[in-house]
Each structure stands twice: as C-alpha cells, then as structure tokens.
Amino acid sequence: MTIMLSKSNQQERWERRYQEGRAAWDRGAPSPALGLGLAQMPEPPARVLIPACGRGYEIAELARRGYRVTGVDFAPSAVADLQKALRAQQLDATVVASDLFTWEPDEPFDVIYEQTALCALEPQQWPEYASRLARWLRPGGLLVGAFMQTHREGGPPWHCPLDAIEQLFRAEQWLWPERKDRTIAHPSGLKELAIILKRRN
C-alpha cells in the first residue's frame, strides 16, 4: 500500500531537502534536455512554463535567450535562490511560489519544459498533473519532457515508465516522436527519458 503524504508534508519535505543541501538532482547548470528542446521550440519571445522548477537554471538560460519564462515551485528556498540568481544576472522571469495543484496561469503557454517534476509527485497525483499540463499548453504547443528512470520501487523520485507516460499523454491528444528511447544522464547517476510531445489542436 502506498500512503500519500499531505500537501503540506510534501512541501516541508522538499523545503528541508533544499535547506539541508540534500538536492542530488540539482545540476547547478541547465540540463542537456534543454538543448534538445531548444532545437524544436518556437523562437523567442515564446512563452515557456517550467513546473516544479527548483533552482531553475533553465529559466535563467531561456530568459537570457529572450523567452518569456514562468517557473513554479512550492519550496521557498528554491524560489528565493532562483530569484536571487535572476537578479544577480539582471534577467527577467516570473517565479511563482505555489503548489502546482492550486496555481493557474492567466493564459496558456507555447512550451512547457517538464524536468523531473512528474517523478517528484506521488503517482496518485499524476493524472491530475497531466491534465493540468494539457490545459496550460496552447493547442500545437510543445511539452519538452525529461522523465526520471529509477527502475526502483518507491519515491520520490518515482520511476516514470514509458507505458505510464503513454497513458498520461495519450496519442489522441499528443503527437509522439518516432523515437521514444532517448535518454540523458542525471547528476544522481540515473537516467532521464527525453521525450518531446506536441499537443494536438
């Protein structure tokens, strides 16, 4: 039986990990997944959302390139670090300290860059999260995904098997690439499945 932590417990757990320096996922730099995404993304000033952005190195990189970027995360330390880094680099982006399950954007985005966010959520939350992503993206928009592969029980990070991703982002609503096995290395030594989906009209 999997017991789901309450929202406030989940938030406290992530915040504690940042405060105690137990953030093994933190690359300290943009992920190579961003390079894959940039090759297919619309030109700046397209609007990009990064849910569960953490310290958001990709936000700074996209802002530097002229994208209009919004990052959302509920860990106050991560949000504060990101805001400080953006200020230091004189970069402009919107950073929201919020739970992804209560936040709503004013208008849909052209691109959503989802990097190790799904694996951070309890699997019971995945269908609700996936329907939110579909709602937050405009028709024809891109979902650039880096989905954690742990091949282990339990989490977070939870293993995100390809068949579960296919169920969450069904082919009737999402255009899938032919190649579904591209991976990128994660700082923890694990791999992420790099998949770029297009929301059908």
> Which is nearer to ligand SAM, 25 or 126 (by Cβ)?
25
Q: Smallest distance, Å, CB 38 to ligand SAM?
A: 16
Cα–Cα distance measured from residue 165 to residue 133, given in angstroms and rounded to the nearest whole number: 13
Residue 77 makes contact with ligand SAM by CB under 6 A: no
Among 115, 141, 174, 194, contact with ligand SAM (rule: CB under 6 A): 115
Residue of the chain from 59, 100, 137, 160 that contacts ligand SAM (CB under 6 A): 100
Q: In the bound complex, what is the minimum distance in angstroms from residue 172's beta carbon to ligand SAM?
A: 27
- Please return the burial class of 6, using the count of CB atoms within 10 Å of its CB with bins 0-12, 13-18 and 19+: exposed
Q: Using an 8 Å Cβ cutoff, are 116 and 191 in contact?
A: no
Name the nearest CA neighbour of 146 among 111, 195, 73: 195
CB of 148 to ligand SAM, least distance (A): 8
Is the CB of 10 or the CB of 150 nearer to ligand SAM?
10
Asked if 130 touches ligand SAM (CB under 6 A), the answer is no
For residue 51, how many other CB atoms are within 10 A of its CB? 23
Is the bond leading into 177 cis (omega within 30 degrees of zero)? Answer: no
CA 102 to chain centre: 16
With residue 57 as reference, give the H or E element that holds it.
Answer: helix 57-64
- When the beta carbons of 76 and 140 are compared against ligand SAM, the nearer one is 76
Residue from 111, 121, 143, 194 binding ligand SAM (CB under 6 A): 121
Residue matched to tokens 């592969």: 149
Task: Return the residue of 67, 74, 147, 169 that touches ligand SAM, per CB under 6 A.
Answer: 74
The contact set with ligand SAM (CB under 6 A) reads: 10, 14, 25-26, 52-54, 72-75, 78, 99-101, 115-117, 120-121
